[in-house]
Structure 1
């Protein structure tokens, strides 16, 4: 089974092939009313819907394909705490009060993921043995040590690792040190998303698939959202479409750059090889500019992911590089059977932070998770639910910022390609 309505080069996903049944999400075919309409059925939108429904708010979710079709169902399933920047930097940029709240929100985001999994009985192969960041050179070792020290001051269960400890935990001699953050873990991302969908439905959320929004208009009493077969009137709208944000949103779409990320996966490994790779169940990613992330799934497949490309030829070339990289990291793989290869788009922001926007009164959005969407998009959903249910801006745990479009957006594809080439050069040096 492959991802439907997707280019073949991106469609052969391990997660789709091993997914639980999709809950019934028929197309919207009537005219409805509710308090809040959520556009997008991934981590952000479903978390928003659940947290609103738990507050007694009536919610409708409109998904263009089916829950988890986009990045939420295709990513590496790594539940990573924190943001790209370290806590001290965040507090320096946003102030001690708001920056501190952001740090706390991002640091505790994995707690929210695993709490939702437990609360709603989501079957998604959840494992919480930690996330390893493996350092590829001496500068990266120092950065890992500084990151660990900053989080330790805030009570996090995190520590730097020597080269020997990294080797023992990874089963690879390719790195010089790193850190382990025991707040992190791994999930089957598509099954997690489908579980969130079921949880939302159980809370009374009306969830519609194959219901692409074709217009969104301000009315005197809120908004009118139309699909090809129906409509919803609601007082407020949450846009939770991330890298798949549609053109009808205008400036919001041009505020992030969709970047392709791809993965490859072996067939289930033999028991002796499996025991030699990440034997204690952690997930991992490295410190390169063009990082790779890797793990075992619950069936013993080895998965590795990294940057992709825009054209089919470039995507295939990047997938071949990942297969070579895997065998360099883990020579014990030998010549494995590569069972799946797939990809999708993640939303990157210019400042590397997620963005929370109030585009106009009642119309809000959260997007731009820069490759850390499992935990952070789930947490952003709770913030969006707080905002949509009336929490004042100054009491939110993430700052609302203006929508700022990226200059020369029409050049995004060559710009991303050029930046990737530069990062590849830096990594080689």
Structure 2
């Protein structure tokens, strides 16, 4: 996961140890993967009385749930009118209502369960760097206002005041959004899931899933074998060969991030009100202030493992483009992780065989989306009623020429980066 040039992210801090244990050899539900989706589902399922075992291949938070940008953004990549056109009026409105409340779900859970997670709910800004992007922001604002969302359109003066950044034509402000410490959140989800009764074991990858009559036989690398009525595979960008075609239905990317040293008081104009920001470029960057005053900025990185600090240089250039006054500020931390995307930029639900359920695809909305999916997934796994799910269950479709995806993605990234540079 990490290379010798990365260091611990600024939001890594000592966390309470999680008691890792196996539940009984026969359980109602096995959850493969201890990220936001898996742990949220395990928590809700255990609270509902199911016997649950979570099995994680590595450390808690070693995947995307621990190394993401910490932005809790409601909605999906597509806006309400697009969702309705894709799914039809009833299903599209149902998905829109679910997506509208994903940030509420996260922050309500933190408050209700007393989670020890640094968080701030001051909103999210999608910053428009061209007039075309500003027109898109106007459409997004119009559609979400029609849904009753607390959103607003920002003019150049307003976005300059809220971000302290240079060069934006305006933007879209979603006051429902916020930021969290992502690693703390996944650890706290592990804590409340185990306190609710779920078993949890780490560093023991699931190597085999076999349908055996009416139950599933789950085998791990250590040789442990469990029998489960239902299985949730919550591996997303870290999906391997466990479920046929699953990995081939996803495109994974590396998300690289940097953090500055704590900014001196003279730079208090940088995000003074605490909003998170994503820009409108094809290869976007996103940034926020950390609780100790650093600027944390992320974006796409090389498809290979990083080899040196130069692999983060594009983010330093982006930082200095947005905030030229920070050119002398030291970059103190660099890290990266893997995230999953789908070809249509929508989350997908699958059940390739009875009792084997999969949810995949985040597209930059992973915290709100995957935490929020936990409750309906738990209800579906307990009762089998698909009407409780916000999305229809669809077959797994492998992406054509998937083995060449890394070359294709790398070429697209390079081309889009060139186009973005020409628009400055």
Q: TM-score scaled to structure 2, two decimals?
A: 0.96
Corresponding residue number in structure 2 for 1:272: 266
Corresponding residue number in structure 2 for 1:331: 324
What is the aligned counterpart of 1:13 among 9, 25, 40? 9
Could you tell me whether the CA contact under 8 Å between 2:231 and 2:355 is conserved in 1?
yes
Could you tell me whether the CA contact under 8 Å between 1:65 and 1:210 is conserved in 2?
yes
Corresponding residue number in structure 1 for 2:389: 396
Could you tell me whether the CA contact under 8 Å between 2:208 and 2:220 is conserved in 1?
yes
Corresponding residue number in structure 1 for 2:401: 408
Q: Deviations over 1:247-281 (max 9, x none)?
A: 222211111011111000012112232x2110001
Could you tell me whether the CA contact under 8 Å between 1:383 and 1:398 is conserved in 2?
no
**Runs of 4+ that moved beyond 6 A:** none
Task: After TM superposition, give the deviation of residue 24 of structure 1 in Å.
Answer: 2.8
Give the 3 Å change call, closer, same or farther, for CA 192–386 of structure 1 in structure 2. same
Q: Deviations over 1:50-103 (max 9, x none)?
A: 111222111110011122110000000000111001110001110111111111
Aligned length in residues: 421
Task: After TM superposition, give the deviation of residue 12 of structure 1 in Å.
Answer: 3.7
Distance 1:398 1:13 in 2: 34
The 5-angstrom pairing of residues 16-31 of structure 1 reads: 16=12, 18-25=13-20, 28=22
1:239 aligns with 2:233: yes
Secondary structure of 2:394's counterpart equals coil
Distance 2:163 2:339 in 1: 26
What is the aligned counterpart of 1:143 among 136, 159, 162? 136
What is the aligned counterpart of 1:367 among 360, 367, 380? 360
Could you tell me whether the CA contact under 8 Å between 2:262 and 2:295 is conserved in 1?
yes
1:52 aligns with 2:48: no
The 5-angstrom pairing of residues 179-198 of structure 1 reads: 179-198=172-191
Distance 2:119 2:17 in 1: 18
Q: Deviations over 1:363-411 (max 9, x none)?
A: 0000111121111111222232122112422442211111000111110
Corresponding residue number in structure 1 for 2:349: 356
Could you tell me whether the CA contact under 8 Å between 1:257 and 1:347 is conserved in 2?
yes
Could you tell me whether the CA contact under 8 Å between 1:145 and 1:179 is conserved in 2?
yes
Task: After TM superposition, give the deviation of residue 316 of structure 1 in Å.
Answer: 4.3
1:104 aligns with 2:100: no
1:120 aligns with 2:113: yes
Corresponding residue number in structure 2 for 1:285: 278
Corresponding residue number in structure 2 for 1:252: 246
Give the 3 Å change call, closer, same or farther, for CA 46–418 of structure 1 in structure 2. same
What is the aligned counterpart of 1:65 among 46, 58, 64? 58
Distance 1:112 1:140 in 2: 29
Could you tell me whether the CA contact under 8 Å between 2:31 and 2:52 is conserved in 1?
yes
Could you tell me whether the CA contact under 8 Å between 1:148 and 1:158 is conserved in 2?
yes
Give the 3 Å change call, closer, same or farther, for CA 315–410 of structure 1 in structure 2. farther
Task: After TM superposition, give the deviation of residue 315 of structure 1 in Å.
Answer: 7.4
Corresponding residue number in structure 2 for 1:208: 201
Could you tell me whether the CA contact under 8 Å between 1:49 and 1:200 is conserved in 2?
yes
Q: Deviations over 1:23-71 (max 9, x none)?
A: 2325x5x861110100000011011111112221111100111221100
Choose 304-313 or 153-162, whichever is displaced more.
304-313
Distance 2:373 2:236 in 1: 12
Distance 2:401 2:327 in 1: 45
Secondary structure of 1:13's counterpart equals coil
Task: After TM superposition, give the deviation of residue 8 of structure 1 in Å.
Answer: 2.6
Corresponding residue number in structure 2 for 1:129: 122
Distance 1:371 1:396 in 2: 21
Corresponding residue number in structure 1 for 2:69: 76
Distance 2:14 2:39 in 1: 18
Corresponding residue number in structure 2 for 1:228: 221
Question: What's the Cα RMSD here?
Answer: 1.6
Distance 1:417 1:15 in 2: 29
Distance 1:340 1:358 in 2: 40
Task: After TM superposition, give the deviation of residue 302 of structure 1 in Å.
Answer: 0.6
Q: Deviations over 1:285-332 (max 9, x none)?
A: 011110000001111111100001123457744411111211221123
Choose 414-423 or 69-78, whichever is displaced more.
414-423
Distance 1:228 1:172 in 2: 49
